[in-house]
Amino acid sequence: MSHSFDDISTQLRRRHRRSSRLKWISMGALGIAGLFLVLFFADMLAKGLPAFQQAQIQVEVDYNEDAQRMGRAALDPEVSRLVSRTFERLIPVRMRDNPELLGTTETRWVLADSEVDQYLKGHRHKLSESQQATVEALVQQDRVELKFNTTFFTSGDSKMPEAAGILSAAVGTVMTLLVTLAIAFPIGVMTAVYLEEFAPDNRLTQIIEININNLAAIPSILFGLLGLAIFINFFGVPRSTPLVGGMTLALMTLPVIIIATRTALRSVPDTIRHAAFGVGCSRWQVVRDHVLPLAMPGIMTGSIIGLAQAMGETAPLIIIGMVAFIPDAGSSFTQAATVLPAQIFTWAGEPEQAFVEKTAGGILVLLAILIFLNATAVVLRKKFERRW
């Protein structure tokens, strides 16, 4: 009845093959997932890095009579089509502000039209044959160059790709996140403190807990509906503003902060609490003076991660109108504003080819900030990690 090792081994050969096949397939799956990640970043870098360079062109500006009405008249007609219209529009304004300019000329580097930029980068463009020839000639004379794109960081949105930048969106993001943090952090920490340190284990507490887990899994767009129906239509918070955006995102961030804070509070050992109770502290004093300070690194880590999540959120903000065209950085929480992801969304919908790289450039900036935030969170956790 018993089988010899050799008999069994023969039968096993097939089964061993199948077993190692599972190993290779599962390894391959992980590899595929990793490959997706690599391809994704490679694609974004390839598309987005050119956005940090922008074609500039050296032109003679002749501040003549005609230029007071129409900026284009100040430029050599052959080159004028290659120059960004934002610059042409600026000429009459400059001449009005500085009347002494009239009759003078100057040579300066100005933004080239986005088509020139796209042509130089070898992308799809709309330059005619003769314009291409002109650009080539200018390149020979070193009068057209790709330079670092400061405009991208110093200006707001524009309908002209060469003049579009992320400044107003970045400012909007900062303001929105300030509101988010101001609301979500205190409420989140207080909720967690209540649930972990004060709450009796009753039905209400359980409902709150289930509810928090649930909130974390509700589609973000529904938070947008809430913001629209409650904050905007009911409470009359102005639409499209960092205030309403921040409030909406705060509700989304709340569960993340609560869950992180609870974990942090739970990791503070009970011996600390007992010691503090033992010297006559009240429950609140124990929490305020002993537990919270020890849990702070964990709370900060969770809050940063929550903020990073809120920062990338777009769908609810679209619903509450934060996709407006905002050329100038806002200065008030009740002024219409946009945020980085919403700016990316807007640009992605622009038909011009030049906006593709702007979009990808904006994405790179957003990803860089997110990576920075998450890395900070990781470092913070590593640095303050404590084994009790």
Partner 1 sequence: MQTNQLLAMFSGVLLLMGLIAFFLGRAKAARVRASGTAMYAQPDQYAWFAVVATAGPAITVGAIGAFLMLLLGAEIPTLYLLACSLVVAAIGLMVGMRQVKPDFHARQAIERVIRWILVAAAMISIFTTFGILFSIIFEALRFFQMHSFWDFITGTVWDPGASFLAAAGRGDEGGSAAQFGSVPLFAGTFMITAIAMLVAIPVGLLSAVYMAEFAPSRVRTFAKPTLEVLAGIPTVVYGFFAAITVAPIIVDVAGFFGLDASFNNAVAPGVVMGIMIIPFISSLSDDVISAVPDSMRQGSLALGMTKGETIRDVVIPAALPGIISASLLAVSRALGETMIVVMAAGMRPNLTANPLEDMTTVTVRIVAALTGDLEFESAETLSAFALGLVLFAVTLSLNLVSVLMIRRFREKYRVNNL
Partner 2 sequence: MSRHESSRPEPGQPVTRNNNAHHELSIRVRDLNLWYGQTQALKNLNIDIYQKNITALIGPSGCGKSTFLRCLNRMNDLIPSVRLEGLVEMDGRDVNAAKMDEVALRRRVGMVFQKPNPFPKSIYDNVVYAPRMHDLVSRKPEQDELVEKALRDAGLWEEVKDKLHQPGTSLSGGQQQRLCIARAIAVQPDVILMDEPTSALDPISTATIEDLMDKLKQQFTIITVTHNMQQAARVADYTAFFHLGEIIEYNDTRTMFANPATKKAEDYITGRYG
Using the rule CB under 8 A, give the single segment among 36-44, 68-76, 94-102, 105-113 that binds partner 1: 36-44
Does position 124 bind partner 1 by CB under 8 A?
Answer: no
The one of partner 2, partner 1, none whose footprint includes residue 5, by CB under 5 to 8 A per kind, is: partner 2
Q: Which is nearer to partner 2, 9 or 105 (CB)?
A: 9
| Minimum distance of partner 2 from residue 356's CB (angstroms) | 50
Cβ distance to partner 2 smaller for residue 11 or 331: 11
* Residues in 95-114 that interact with partner 1 by CB under 8 A: none
Are 322 and 172 spatial neighbours (Cβ–Cβ below 8 Å)?
yes
Q: Taking CB under 8 A as the rule, does residue 344 contact partner 1? A: yes
254 binds, among partner 1, partner 2, none (CB under 5 to 8 A by kind): partner 1
Please check whether residue 160 is in contact with residue 114, taking contact to mean a CB–CB distance below 8 angstroms: yes
Query: Using CB under 8 A, which residues numbered 291 to 310 contact partner 1?
Result: 308-309
336 contacts partner 1 (rule: CB under 8 A):
no
How is residue 259 written in tokens?
């869950």
Q: Per the structure block, which two tokens stand in for 11? A: 């039968």
Nearest Cα to 49, choosing from 316, 357, 333, 384?
A: 357
Q: Does 325 bind partner 1 (CB under 8 A)?
A: no
DSSP 8-state symbol, 110: E
Site track for partner 1 across 128-147, x = CB under 8 A: --------------------
Nearest to 113 by CA among 159, 172, 61, 176: 159
Q: List residues near partner 2 by CB under 8 A.
A: 1-5, 8-9, 11-12, 15-16
Please give the Cα distance from 158 to 331 (Å, whole number): 18
What mask, x for binding partner 1 by CB under 8 A, covers residues 181 to 220? -----xx--xx-xxx--xx-------xx-xxxxxx-xxxx
Is 356 a residue that touches partner 1 (CB under 8 A)? yes
Q: Which does 271 bind (CB under 5 to 8 A by kind): partner 1, partner 2, none?
A: none
For Cα atoms 114, 90, 79, give the angle at the middle one, nearest 5 degrees.
Answer: 50
Structure tokens at 214: 């649930």
Alpha-carbon distance of 330 to 7, in angstroms, equals 80
Candidates 91-99, 100-108, 135-143, 249-257; binding stretch for partner 1 (CB under 8 A):
249-257
Residue 3 contact partner, candidates partner 1, partner 2, none, CB within 5 to 8 A by sort of partner: partner 2
Strands 144-148 and 53-62: antiparallel
Q: How many residues bind partner 1 (CB under 8 A)?
A: 90
Q: The tokens 């960004």 sit on which residue?
A: 84
The DSSP H or E segment spanning 273 is: helix 270-278
Q: Taken in order 139, 141, 146, 151, is the CA torsion positive or negative? A: negative
Is 332 an interacting residue with respect to partner 1 (CB under 8 A)?
Answer: no
How far, in Å, CA of 57 to CA of 147, rounded? 10
Q: What are phi and psi of 149, to 5 degrees?
A: -90, 85
Min CB(21)–partner 1 separation in Å = 7
d(CA 273, CA 265): 11
Name the amino acid, one letter, at 243. Answer: L
Q: Which of 36, 109, 325, 372 binds partner 1 (CB under 8 A)?
A: 36
The distance of closest approach from Cβ of residue 27 to partner 1 in the complex, given in angstroms and rounded to an integer, is 5
Residues 12-31 that bind partner 1 (CB under 8 A): 12, 15-16, 18-23, 25-30
